[in-house]
Each structure stands twice: as C-alpha cells, then as structure tokens.
Amino acid sequence: MKRKLFNILGAVAAAFTLAGCSLDINEDPYAVTNLDMAQLLTATEYEVGYTFAEGHYLNANFSAYTHHTVSREIDNYSLVASYSTLGNTWSQAYRYAIKNCDELISAGDEEGNVIYAGIGRILRAHIYMAMTDLFGDIPYSEANNPEFTTPKPDKSADIYNDLLVSINKAIANFKDTEAANTLKPGANDLFYGGNVDKWLKAANTLKLKLLVQSRLAKAQINGWASELSSVIAENNFIGDGEDLQYPHSSALTPSDERNTGYVDEYQGGQKSVWISPWMYEIMKGLTYNFKANPLRGIEDPRCNYYWYNQSTATSDAVNKTDYRDGAFISIMMGSNSGFTSNTQEAAMTCLGIYPIGGKFDDGKGGKITSSDGNGIAPDKMLQAYSVPFMKAELVLAGEIQGDAKALLVEGIKASITHVNSVSKASDASVPGISSEATSIFTDAVTALFDAASAEKKMEIVMTEKWIANFYNPVEAYNDIRRTGYPILFTGDANNMAYTPYTQTVEAAQGLTPYNLVTILKYPRILWYPQEETTVNPNITNKGRVVSDKNVFWDVK
Amino acid sequence: MSKNKLFIVALLLTVCSAAFAQKRVSGVVTGAEDALPLEGVVVSIKGTTTGTVTDARGQYSIQAPSNADLEFSCLGYETLVVNVAGRQTVNVSLAAESTVLDEVLVTAVGIQRTERSLGYSVTKVDADNAVQKAEPDLLRALDGKIAGVQVSAPSGDAGGATRITIRGNSSFLGNNQPLYVVDGVPYSNDGNSASGRGGDMGGALGSGIATLDPNDIESMSVLKGAAAAVLYGSRAANGVVLITTKSGAKKTGKRGIEITYNGSYATESIASLPEFQNKYGQGSNFMFAGSNGSWGPAFTEGATMDMYAAFAEYPDLATELYPNLGGKIPYQAYPNNVKDLFRKGSIMEHSLNVQSLNEKGNFNVTGSYTDQKSYIPGSNFDRYSFSIGGHQTLSFGLRVGGNLAFSLTDQDSPMYGYNQSQSELGGLSSLARAFIMPRSWDIQHFPYKTLDGSNLLFQLSSQANNPYWAWENDKILTQQKRIVANFNAGYDFTDWLSIDYTLGYNDYGRDRKYIINTGSRGYAGKGYINKGVYDSNQIESTLLLTADKTFGDLQVRATLGHNYNQSTATSFSASGLQITNKGIFAIDNTMSQTASEGYSRSRKWGVFLDLLLNYHDYLFLNLSGRNDVSSTLPKANRSFFYPAASLSFVFTEAFNLNKDILNFGKVRASWAKVGNDASPYYNNGTYVIGSPYMGQGLMELPTVLYDENLKPEFTREFETGLELKFFDSRIAFDGTYYNRVSDNQIGSKRSAPSTGYNSFVTNFGSIRNAGFELGLDVYPIVTKDFSWSIYSTFTKNKSEVLSLADGVEKIEVGGDFSTPKPVLMVGYPYGVLEGEKLARTKDGEPLVDPATGMYINDTETGIIGDPNPKYKTSLINTFKYKGFTFNFMFDFQKGGCVYSSYLTDLLGRGVTKDTEDRLGSRIIPGVYGNADTLEPYLDANGNTIPNMTAISESDLYFSDGTYSTYAINSCDEVAVYDATVLRLREIGLSYTFPKNWVKKIKLAGAEVGIIGRNLWFYAPNVPKYSNYDPIVNSYGETNVQGIDYTSAPSTRRVAFNVRLTF
C-alpha cells in the first residue's frame, strides 16, 4: 500500500515536473498562413470602399464642409485633429486600404497576375489622391514600409506625379496580353466582376480626374498636356452604369452590408445629418439666404430623392425650429438662434433614398421608422456623371475643345440616370424622374447658362456637379477649392441668416432673421489627425494653418 | 503556532509517553477571561519532550518530577510556565494573548515564515474582515483595510467587477491586477468583457474572483512586493493575494466536530440620490418643449398641459388619471419621480461549515448561498458554493490532502453606459434618462410600454429606453462556474528534510448573454441576442524539497522547487439579429446569425531556490531565485532568471534592549527582480479572415506586427520597512517605502497609421511606482472588560512614466471613445486622462468668444486630469465591552479625478438644485479671444479684455456645441471633477453571548451583529446637490480608470448577522 502510493505520487509529480510538456505550442491553431489572391482582392475592395464611404467615418458629417448637410457635431468647420472620424478615415486609408492594395500589387506582379496588380494600382491611386487632396503633404514614399516607423510626408505634387505613373502602369496592366494571368478576378471583384474593359475605363477616368484636379498647377505635373490630349483622344471613360462604386445590400449577416449612412440615420438612436438649407435653396431655386443663387427660379427634380420630409407643410415641429420652409425642417450652419440643439427627431428633414437607400419623399410626410428604407445605395468613388462635368470644366477653362453646354446637359442627365437607377434598385415602386421632367429642368438650366457670362457659366457647371455629388463630399470639396464654386454660405453682411417660416413649433410663414456666430474662415485643408501626429513626429500640426492654401493645385 | 510547538505536538503524536517513575500531576486549565475550561492546551514539561493535551473539560494529567516547570501553551493565549512545587493538582488560567508577537505567515508557494523573519511586507488578513460585512464581494470588503492595496469598486450594481491594484500600475497595457492563489491554485479575475462598458451594450460585468465565497476563507495573505512574490515568478509582478480556504487548510487538533452557521440579511438602497429642483419642468428657455431638459416654465398652481402625444395609444389615460381636467394633465413637479424608480434591495446569505478535526488532520465541508437583489430593479446576483476538503497524516508518515470546490454565480445586469451613443447597438443605458428625466414627468403613473410591448417614453423613445422598460427587457445575463480541484502530498524523510507536492486544476467557465429585446431603442427595436461562452482552465503543479538544519548559531532553511503551469482558454460567441418570435431569447430564434471562435494555450515551467539564513532569531537573510521557461516567448529568449534578496533585523533582540518602552523593533530591506513573459501567439506571418461580403470571402494583412526578438520584461523593486512595537505592543507601527521600476515592458506600441500598422508588440518604455504604506495599531485602553483599539492605514503611491519608445509621444490605455482617454505620457502618472480642453492664453486664462460669451475650444487635446489618488487613508476604531464589540471605519481619498458624463447630464438637464436659481444672466470668467487664431483680443494698451458677454443659466450648462460652457456640448475638460472623498465605510455592533449561557441552549457559541456600510460620504469638489460619489467608474477591473458614463451609483447597506457554532 505504502509503496504503491509512493509510486503513484512519484509518477504524477514526475509527469508534471520533468516530462517533456512541449513548449513549442505558440502557433494559433485558428490562424491562416496562406495568401489567397481572390479573397485579398475582395478584402481590398471592401477596405477601399469604406475609406470614403458616405456616412462612414469622416464622411459621416464632412459634407457639412461642402454645405450639402449641416452637422451639430462639426458645426462651423470645427473638425479638429482629435475628432475620431478624422483619425478613423486616415487610419482606414493607410492601415487597411493602401496596405492591402500594396500587397495586391506586389503579389500580382510577382506571379504575373497583372489584372490583380492593375486593380491594386487604380484603387491605391484613388485613395492616395483623395488623401493628398484632403491633407496635402502626406506620407507616401515611406508609408507602409517596415523600414520606416515614422514616415515623412512627401510633397503633394510629387505624390500626384507618381500616381500618374502608377495609373499609366495600371492601364498597361489591363492592356497586357502577354501576361500569364493564371489567376483572374471574377465574382470576387465587387466593383466590376472581373471585367477588364471596365477597369480600363475606370483607369482612364481616374487619370482624367487627376489631370483636371491639377490643371491650375499643370506645370508641376510631368507631361500634363500630352497626357490630357491622349486620354481625351482615346475617349474611353466610364459611362452610365459603369460607375466605380462600392455596392451595398440589405443583408445583415455575415457582414452588415447596408449603407453606413442608412444604418446611422434610419436605425440608430439620433439622426445627426441635417440637410443644408443652402443646398435646399439652391435646388429649390430660392433666394432667402442665397440672394445670388445661380439657379434661382428652377426647382430640381432630384429633391424628393435626395431628402425626405417627415413633416408636412402644415404639421407641427417637435420643438421650435431653426430653419423651416413648409415641410422642410433643418438647422443653419453657425446658427445662434438657440434652437439648433432642440430635438427634431420626428420632424426634421432627413437623407432620402438616393444618398443612403432611405425613404423616397412622396410628399405625404410621416415619421421614419426602422422599417423604412433598406440601405441599398452604393458609395461613390468614380462617377459617370463626373466625366462630362470635367470635360465641361476643361472646355470652359480653354484646355480642350468642345460644347460646354452639351456637356453640362450630359452631366445633369447622367446624374439623373444614376438617381433613377439607385432609387429603383432600393425600391422598385419608386417612380423615376421622367425624361420630360429631365428636359424641362435641363432646358431651364441651359437658358440660364446661355445668358451667363463665362465666369457664371463655370459657376453653373460646378454648382450642377456639386448637386450631382450630394453627400459625396470629397470630390465636391476639391471642386470648391479648385474653382471657388459653388459659392458657400457665410451669412449676410450683418452676419444674419433667414428662415422663410417663423421659428415656432407650429408651421407659420414669415421670413425671420437671426444671428449667426462668427463664421470661421473656410478650411482649405484638414488637420492631420491626432492618431498620426502623436506617434509620428514627422507629421505635425504645428504651424499648420488650415485656412491657408496647402495643396499644390490649390492656387486659385 | 511556533515551530517548537509544532515539534512537540508532532512528538506527542508519534512517541508514546515514556514512563518515568514520577508523580502524576493533574489539573484544570481555564480561560482567564471567562473562567471556562480550555480544550486543546498543550501541557509540557519544560526542557523535555514530554507533554499532553487538555480534554473537553480542560483537564489534563501528566507524570512529572515534583520540581518540574510545566508549560501551558495554546494558540491565542499567553504561554504560562508554572513550577509544580510538589503539588498534585495544578490548576491554571491562561490569559488571552493581546497581540500575537510572532505570527506564522504563509508566503509564496505555501512556505511558512515567522513574521519576524520577513525582509519584505506581507499583510495577513483576518477572515473576519471579509465575512459578514454586508458585502458579497470579497475584494470590496477589504477596501481600506490593507495599506498599499487599492480597491476600486466601480458601481453599485450587484455583482459588478472589482479592481485591486497593489502599489500602483506596473504594466503599461497588460494586466495590473495581483495574482490570486487559492489553496495553491491560481485564480483569474479577468472580466473578459466582450464589449465596452462605456459604449455599446455597456453593463456592470462581473469578473472571475466573484466565484470565491468569503464564508469559506480561512486566512488570507497579501504579498505586496516583488521580493515576496518572486517565487511565483512571472505572474506575480503585481503582487499576490494568497487565500487559504477552510477546505484547503491543513489543521490538526483534538478530535471533535464543529458546526458553524453564518447567516445575514442586509437591506440595500441607493447611497447618493441627487437633490432635485422642483420649480421648473420640461422645456427650454422657460418655455415648454419636448426636450430632455428641465429648463421649461416654472410650475404654477393649477397649471395644465396637453397629454403627451406618445401616449396616443392610451386615449382615455388623461381622463382616467385626471377626471376633472377635461383631457388635460397637470404641469407640476413630481419630486419623487427618480427616487421611486428604485427599490429596496437586499442581500441574504447563508453559510454552513462543518469541520472535523483529529490529531492527524482535518476534514471540512462548507456550503454557502448568497442572494443579492440590488436597489436597481433587474440587477441581481446569486452565488452557490460548495467545497469539501481534508488533510490527513497516514500511518507511515505520508501527509495527503485534497479539496474540491464548486461555485456557481448568476448575475442579471441591466445595461448601463454612455447614454448618448448614437450607434445601432448603443445608447441602451437603462439609466440614460433615469436621473435626468424632466421634473414634470409622472413616470410612475404613465405607461412604460406600448400595447405591443415596445419601449415607451414620454417624448424621446427613439433616444432612450424608459428605465422601467429597460430593466424588464434589456439584460446582460451572466453565469459563472468554477471548479477547483487540488491534491497535495508531503513526506518527511528525516527531521530536517521533507518533500511536498501540489497538483491543482482550476476550471472557470462563463456564459454571458446580451439581450436587446424587441421594441427596445437599441437595434431599431428588432431584437438582438449575443451569447458568449468562455472557458479557461489552468493546471498547476508544484514540487518542493525543503531542508531545515541548524549549524551552531545558524539555522538554514532551503527550499528547492519546481513549478509547471498550463493555461488554456477557449471562447465562442454567437449573435442573432432580429428576434423572430417575441419573448424567446434563443439564438436560433433570430433572422440571421453570426459566430466566432477563439483558442489559446500557453505553458511555462520554472525551477526556484529559496534560502533562509537565521542567526539567533534576530537576523535573517533570505535569498531566492527563479528560472522560468515560457512557451510564449521566442525560443532564444524563453528561458529567463530573476533573483531576490531580503534582510530582516530585529534590533531589540540583537542588542538586548530594555523592552519597557520599545518591546519590539525590526528593520527590513529587500531587493528583487521579477520577470514576466508575453501573451500567447505573438507571431507574424498570418492573415486576418473577415466575414464574407456579398458572398465573397475576405482575407487581408494583419495590422499588428510582433517583435521577432521579444524578450521577457522585468520589474525591479527596492523595499525597506520598519516595525516598532511600544509598551507591550500597545502601540505598533509598520512602515514601508518601496520603489519599483518596470522596464522593457512587453506591450503593444501604437504605430503611426501611415506605417500600415496599428501596433507593434515589442519591449519598450519604463514606469516607476514609488510610495509609502503605513499601518498603526494602538490599544489606548485594555482592561479585563473593556478595550479600545485603533487601526489606521495610509497609502501613497506615485507613478511616473519614465520613458516610452523613441518618437512615441503617448500611448492610449483604452476606452471606448476618442476622448477622453487614459494615456501614458513621459513625466506623467499612469493613465492620466487626455481630452478636449479649453483654449487659453499663455497665462492660462480661458478664451471666451465675444459673440456667444462661451469658451473657445482648443484645437489640440491635452491632459485634463489624473485619476490616481494622491493618497488614501483609513481609520478603524474598535471598542469591546464584555461580549459587545462596536467598530466604525472611516476612509479618506485625497485627489484623483473622474470624468463624469453623469454630472454633466445632471447639470445640463437642469434637474438638480444646483441649477434652480436660474433667473437673470451669467458671465463666465475668461478673456475675449479669436476663435480662428485662438489668440486673445487685446485692448489699446495690449492688455487682455475680460469677458462681459452675458449668457443664461441654462447656457452655463448646455452650450451650442461649437463653444464650451460647463456641461453638455462642452469640451471634456469641464466634465472632470476632483474625486476627493471622505467616507464612513463601515459601522458595526456585535454581541457574543457568554459561553456558559449558550451552553445551556446546546450551542458552542453564538454571536449576533448589525453592520452598516457606506452610510455617509462627503465629496467636497463635485456639484453640491449632485450627492455624487466620485469613486464610481464604468470600466470595472480594467486599466481604464477615472471615467464614469452613468454607472450605477454606490449603495448603502445595513445588515443583521448571526453566527452560531454547534
């Protein structure tokens, strides 16, 4: 007994004391260690798509800077360096979008799968261009490179030049018939389903965008003129239905595939996006605040698709209103009325079916519930309507030959086509904008256009492009800084704003002026996010004046 | 019991009494206090190995020479030596020991040491300090009772996690809690929370140590410093809490059975309800509006208002409630609308312990049940625990023992957290509107749900849940199970060489379900369920070889040990979206589901040596060292060694000082280094798999980079202390100074986004914690019937981040929102809060926008507060008169801060008396500045211009969002308050019935008591009428401290206790 016990105890103790319980167990059995190009492309598109998705991160309220919307959170251009959405977008761009693009390019090049590499180049150029446009000099040559833990910024012009080379290389990739391309994208390509022709069109369109964006500083871009003439001559751009855009569905699992803006505004707690009264007046042709509205007297047919009025022209608001015109209830940027913080949850005008897959405005009003809409609205990256607008701008600027008026009409029509197709995809029962309505509208705009001075023509083109870009602020912000159009809200000479209805709960007409706070100077660049500056001493906000012109093309 | 006594007892057990031709001496031993017979007193003949033990009647009988010195010794009594002087009967009475001079303490890996031999600080905690304190959480019951130990109780929720830190935070981002070792087996106190407590689906989640039943605790030691903990190695860098349970204790004694019953019943109520104003109701600018604030019109006699539109489903409601108002309802204050939301909570505890003792060992069974109902409806905590264990010495000298403990806890928690979160799953806090609802809401009489059962609030149902609805519907249900099995064996080869082996297994399982019911404000009312299952288990094996030999004046005790630990964790989580059939909360009753799974395992073994040199029982040198080999480090670096040395010198003995005044004096000093390994799976070369999108799989590059050459991290600590006892130990002082530096920490260093990485896990940085721990024991009065004792502690810890990695300005510790956030910055204490701040002039004057009269926010963030207290001190007074004991305990925290969205809500919504005086205008202090340039405006003489722009009282607490005032919509800085607080922590009265009296009713002992906890506190630097307890925080046991997003306010309890011994 005694011996037996000792033997058992000795064996147990020895087992745990001496026996070779292996220490070589530090591999996670659930970790994946082999790269799959197909999945890498899908993930890259997913990450790229979310970087500047409308309603996501920065773009949750950045459209307040382009006066598409008004935001209590970043009212009066108050997007500071510590603001989380700013850091989120920056981080999303570098840590997820660019990083995976780089991997797609190097893995694609290495294995001769150049379609993958070409897609990687286009998506990378798309992200880097937007980042440069928003932040100016940013880490580029030292970014996403293990050798550099604190990447230095590159000059914005240098980045543009390198991106142009990169886009040309992508074009060559797509035209390359010699390459092995043992792996080709198909359904895993969320954007074009592996259609190389469409990718080639997107590459040309992105190139056109780069050249238009840099046209005022063209001397700084290598071969700007020849690049422009060749891409215009080839004239192989994206057209209707060929937009480079990030698709959404109504699915919740395994991923939440709904448009982020929709989730926030229709499913979240409090709505945070107010429609800008400035935008409202321009699209309605009104002049309460914008006395020099270039589109005065013309009502835009896209209004009911852009936003949704929960109120009717006669229903009570929840609380006193800051800005009201009939059923339209919103707040004014920089308002000092005291009513901007009042809740209007059930009365305010909200984003509609086109921007986020919300509700179509049939004019009957009614509070939005969580069963309204479905979030099926794509996020924009490169739009077909931008092509004629860019061409119109080039014509008016004297860079190319062409019929600016025809291009303007083409742009508006492409925008309306997009509004119709997106709205139908979300809700088939929604009536589209008819071609008659479209013609009536374009005729009215062209009448103004014909009568306008050369400068005014540019204003009309850019204002229409800005309308087309509703809730897609990155391109609009570039256009505003490059051309000065559309003219933005600043309050009148007495620093006042106006509401056509009184600021009461009850709906009552009566133009009411009210004070604004001191409107800050227009920011021509964004702060570097604190997310970067605190860990990278080479990127600093010291000495950065956001109202100064910082990006190389911002010379107007 | 001293070693000598043990020796004698051992001899008694093994050696038959030698028969000398001597006289038989007999007698009765009684206690001096109550004259009752004492059982189990060892009676021995001094200078020999002959002895006996008294029986149940206190009687003994021994053969002894007529001139022998008889020694009577018994634990807890002064040892008495009496000369037989020829007598046949020697009756003695033993005086109770006033203070135990030379207590034996359990130190690392179970090594027992006399207190005087310790060269470092170990605090023994009496089990009585933890039980029957109307506090089901063991850790909270200890708050303020141990110098150097900080206990943070986050909220008044039943079962919410508690955090303990010893000597500050040593690890930048890792675990800063001590190692808990229960009967030789490590416990974990991780909460493993699946989601943020401040953000989405926030709750007062419980943590692992809640599975421990305070009633089953025999004794507890806290090893504070590195020197004390070095034998535990890696895991003990933050100190060790050693717990011996009743079932795990190794005891011997006179054969017998003791049955003890502990029972208590406590009532619980909210400790800190604000004092509300009842002059103004819902609205803004003195006008009625459907807003969150009570800034509306003043109440007037007979005022009425329209029925709230939200109750349209109840068309007759107004007439039913107010038949005379013609469909209108009164516009009036409901002074108790907040108070009446809460209930009277309770705690019921029952514990039964059966202990059987014999000369060769013990057997013990404990069963306990705790049922807590918080003052918050829907917040409940139950614990069932059962343990069984024993220990015996077998006939051939083998000592074997084992114990098995099972415990089950059930916690129902409502959801708390940041109430303004706009995300789909956020803003669920059941307290979102509880404290700030308009003063004119008759929430008790109006429906809280729609006819189909959905959340219904007066106006703002889409913003927040009605608290009544939330408590009934949205829940976090947690079940924790723990099974601990322990087996141990030992054998003495010779009288100086022995071997001991312990094998322990600890399995902890947690099952947590989040339910957002259909109709909730969260998840658009569609219903959401998340279920997370987590299981962790540890196998711990320890082998000790101990040699104890005396060479002349030198006693040498050496322990050679081997330790092995394997730790495994698995997790599984599933979410179901959109509940299909109402009221059924199973994942498969949802429209779609997702799931995820995780696994990790690590192993470690170490060898160690502990050497104690004892010279004349007054000079002790202790040397120890341990070498660990860990699976989690790169092969080249996975073996690492760390040493410790400590010295104890009892100078009163060494110099044979006159003991009339100073009866004991000891100095001690130690130095130690403790190593620590990494978490498992710090490997590069893997890809991240995402959930499929549009039916396509996702794979991408990881954003965490691991140092391929990761090394173990080390903490070095120097500690010195002084122990003095005066006037027969009537005054005892124990002071410690320590200085601990942790460097080359393994941590996740934030990488600049432009590097493409989120973080780089490597060795970097250094942090110092230095401080004092003082304890003072005073017995001002000790008489036969009456005694008064005072115990006081003082703890001061100062931490400073000495370095971070090159080029890294700061590191974020955690938190749910971008600001405020606890950060690490060189030159600052651990975890200071960084957040948005006011723009100021160079002289620190805040800038005011001339147009609005409100503060201009800075474009940069800055440090806005330090949550670490400057010091903490406590004072316990105990009075004993015959069987009565009366005690009370105050504690005081100086400094520290809390960022409180709760306070900004109270102020901003105008509900407390702080904002009652609201007529007229206000001018905030500051100077005019330019919001574009953040420069002050200067007058013609170049001087700043004081603000003269008036604003309203409501603007003082509710700004427009662009500019700041003092509460809502303002920058983070204004929401930071000083956390200084004085508290009457505990007050108690108990009575022990006289033994002769209880014997009449066939009991061995009976005690009753009443105790109150947290009856009063005073926080001078928070808004006066908020009655805010600034110690609450939202983040439980995590490293994030000093942030409160409307946690449950603290509780006040009064309990009645009974203890019966059979």
Alpha-carbon gap: A209 to the closest alpha carbon of chain B (Å) = 24
Residues 6+ apart with CB under 8 A from B660: none
Q: What are phi and psi of A501, to 5 degrees?
A: -105, 155
What is the tens place of the pLDDT at every residue in B738-782? 999 988 888 888 889 999 999 899 998 899 999 999 999 999 988
Cα separation values, B432 from A340, A369, B905, Å:
22, 21, 9
Closest partner residue to B859 (CB to CB) among A6, A81, A139 is: A81
Task: Tell me the mean pLDDT in the region A224-229.
Answer: 97
B959: nearest CA in chain A?
Answer: A341
How confident is the prediction for chain B on average, in pLDDT?
86
Contacts of B564 in chain A (CB under 8 A): 16-17, 21
Find the residue in B nearest to A31 (Cα): B686
B562 with A17: Cβ contact below 8 A: yes
pLDDT tens profile B979-1038: 999 999 889 999 999 888 888 888 888 989 999 988 899 999 999 999 998 887 767 667
Q: Which of A6, A24, A143 sits opposite B756 (nearest CB)?
A: A143
- CA B462 – CA B450 distance, rounded (Å): 13
Closest alpha carbon within chain A to B604: A23
Please name the residues in contact with B494: beta carbons below 8 A apart, sequence gap of 6 or more: none
Contacts of B857 in chain A (CB under 8 A): 78, 80
Best mutation target among A78, A95, A273, A548 (most B Cβ atoms within 10 Å) is A95
Chain A hits for B393, Cβ within 8 Å? none
Nearest-CB residue to B752 (from A6, A30, A535):
A535
- Asked if A9 and B489 come within 8 Å (Cβ–Cβ), the reply is yes
| B248 CB-near residues (< 8 Å, 6+ apart) | B182, B183, B184, B218, B389, B403, B486
Chain B partners within 8 Å of A6 (Cβ): 398, 491
With a cut of 60, say whether residue B294 has pLDDT above it. Answer: yes
Nearest to B289 among A87, A270, A320 (CB): A320
Q: Is the pLDDT of residue B431 over 70?
A: yes
Residue B418: both structure tokens together = 């940041």
Q: Which two tokens stand for residue B1049?
A: 């306010």
Q: Do A318 and B751 touch (CB under 8 A)?
A: no
The verdict on a CB contact (< 8 Å) between B807 and A336 is no
Q: How far is the C-alpha of A206 from the C-alpha of A222, rounded, in Å?
A: 16
Read off the pLDDT of residues B663-693 as tens digits, 9 standing for 90 and up.
999 999 999 998 888 889 999 999 999 999 9
User: B970 vs chain A: nearest CA distance in angstroms?
Assistant: 11
Residues with Cβ within 8 Å of A435's Cβ and at least 6 positions away in sequence, in order, are none
Cα distance between residue B338 and residue B550, in whole Å: 71
For residue B760, the chain A residues in CB contact (below 8 A) are 149
Q: Which amino acid, B918?
A: R
Chain B residues near residue A188 by CB distance under 8 angstroms = 696-697
B603's CB contacts (< 8 A; 6+ apart) are A21, A22, A23, A25, B564, B565, B566, B567, B630, B631
Distance between CA atoms of residues B437 and B290, nearest Å: 11
Q: Please give the pLDDT value at position B10.
A: 37
Q: Mind listing the pLDDT tens digit for each residue in B343-377?
A: 999 999 999 999 998 888 899 999 999 999 999 99
Instruction: Name chain B contacts of A547, Cβ cutoff 8 Å.
Output: 932
- DSSP E strand stretches across A207-253: 244-246
Ranges assigned E (strand) in B917-974: 921-922, 927-928, 951-952
pLDDT at A31: 92
C-alpha torsion angle, residues B36, B42, B47, B50 (rounded to 10)? 120
Whether pLDDT at B925 is above 50: yes
Tens-digit pLDDT profile for residues A377-429: 999 999 999 999 999 999 999 999 999 999 999 999 999 999 999 999 999 99
Is the pLDDT confidence value at B153 over 70? no
Contacts of B287 (CB under 8 A, 6+ apart): A320, B296, B297
Banded model confidence at residue B11, pLDDT cuts 50, 70, 90: very low
**Residues of chain B contacting A81 with CB distance shorter than 8 Å:** 859-861
Size of interface A-B (CB pairs under 8 A): 312
* 8 Å CB contact between B871 and B894: yes
- How far apart are the C-alpha atoms of B679 and B629, rounded to whole Å? 14
Beta-strand ranges (E) seen in B444-589 are 475-492, 497-516, 528-551, 554-579
DSSP annotation of A247: -
Is pLDDT of B142 > 80?
Answer: no
Q: Report whether A51 contacts A43 (CB < 8 A).
A: no
Give contacts of A96 with chain B, Cβ < 8 Å.
700, 703
Among the partner residues B597, B697, B849, nearest to A30 by beta-carbon distance: B597
DSSP lists the bridge partners of residue B877 as: B790, B888
Looking at residue B2, its pLDDT comes to 40
Q: Which two tokens stand for residue B854?
A: 């409100």
What is the least distance, in Å, from the CA of B811 to any CA of chain A?
8
Instruction: Place B131 in a pLDDT band, splitting at 50, 70 and 90.
Output: low
Percent of chain B with pLDDT over 70: 92
How many residues are present in chain A? Answer: 556
Chain A closest CA to B87's CA: distance in Å? 46
Q: Which amino acid is at B537?
A: N
Distance CA B483, CA A312 (A): 64
Helix axes A404-426, A386-396, angle to 10 degrees: 160
CA distance linking residue B452 with residue B479, whole number of Å: 30
Q: How far is CA B765 from CA B170, B748, B770, B801, B1039, in A?
A: 11, 11, 17, 8, 17
Q: Which token pair is B700? A: 């991408």
Tell me if residue A258 falls in helix, strand or coil: coil
Chain B residues with CB-CB distance to A338 below 8 A: 284-285, 960
Q: What's the pLDDT band for B237 if we cut at 50, 70, 90?
A: confident
The three-class DSSP label of residue B462 is coil
- Mean pLDDT along residues B428-454: 92
The answer to whether the Cβ–Cβ distance between B694 and A190 falls below 8 Å is yes
β-sheet bridge partners, residue A146: none
Question: How would residue B539 be classed by pLDDT, with cut points 50, 70 and 90?
Answer: very high
Mean residue pLDDT across chain A: 94
* Higher local confidence (pLDDT), B418 or B684: B684
Do residues B491 and B501 make contact, with C-beta atoms less than 8 angstroms apart? no
Task: Please tell me the predicted confidence (pLDDT) of residue B3.
Answer: 40
Beta bridge partners of B565: B540, B604
Q: How much is the average pLDDT of A288-300?
A: 96
B657: burial class by Cβ within 10 Å (0-12, 13-18, 19+)?
Answer: middle
From chain B, the residues in CB contact with A43 under 8 A are: 690, 698-700
ipTM above 0.90, yes or no: yes
CA distances from A181 to A102, A186, A191, A227 (A): 18, 13, 19, 28
Q: Environment class of residue B913 by beta-carbon count within 10 Å: exposed (0-12), middle (13-18) or buried (19+)?
A: middle
CB–CB contact A27 B681 (8 Å): yes
Euclidean distance between CA atoms B887 and A73, whole angstroms: 53
The arithmetic mean of pLDDT across residues B18-34, rounded, is 72
> Which of B394, B562, B699, B754 should we substitute to test contact with A (largest number of A Cβ atoms within 10 Å)?
B754
Residue A330 C-alpha, separation from nearest chain B C-alpha, in angstroms: 16
Is A188 close to B696, i.e. CB distance below 8 A?
yes
Rounded to a whole number, what is the distance in Å from the CA of B142 to chain A's nearest CA?
36
pLDDT tens digits for range B444-501: 999 999 999 999 988 776 778 999 999 999 999 999 999 999 999 999 999 899 999 9
Whole-number pLDDT of residue A19 = 52
Tens-digit pLDDT profile for residues A123-180: 999 999 999 999 999 999 999 998 999 999 999 999 999 999 999 999 999 999 999 9
Min distance B724 CA to chain A CA atoms (Å): 43
